[in-house]
Amino acid sequence: MNGPLGELVAAAPRWRRPGMRLLLALARRPRGLALLARVSPADQVAHGLLALGRYDDPARAATLGWDAEAVTARGQALREAEGRP
């Protein structure tokens, strides 16, 4: 597992990493999704983790309504308006 999603899993507590890796591996396969659909909370967690991975791709994030540069610019303007560093 590479990229930011891999970094997220690596930053998790040691005891949680194997479960996260398993959920991601299952969620990426049709049969795994069918298995996860039987356990609703696990299904939701797996879909949430995959969604987090999609937000790292700027093109996908823009289609989902997320523009990191606009958020950063808005935050900087707010800080300047309030006189904060």
Q: Assign 1 a pLDDT band (cuts: 50, 70, 90).
A: low
Distance CA(33)–CA(23), nearest Å, equals 9
What global pTM score does this model have?
Answer: 0.60
Q: Is the dihedral of CA 17, 22, 23, 24 positive or negative?
A: positive
Q: Please, what is the average pLDDT of the chain?
A: 86
- Residue 83 gets the label, from left (phi > 0), alpha (psi -120 to 50) or beta, of left
Q: Is the pLDDT of residue 37 over 80?
A: yes
> 45: Cβ–Cβ under 8 A, 6 or more apart, which residues?
23
Token digits of residue 7: 């970094």
Give 55-85 pLDDT, tens digit per residue: 777 777 778 777 888 889 999 999 999 998 8
Strand runs (DSSP E) across 1-85, as ranges?
none
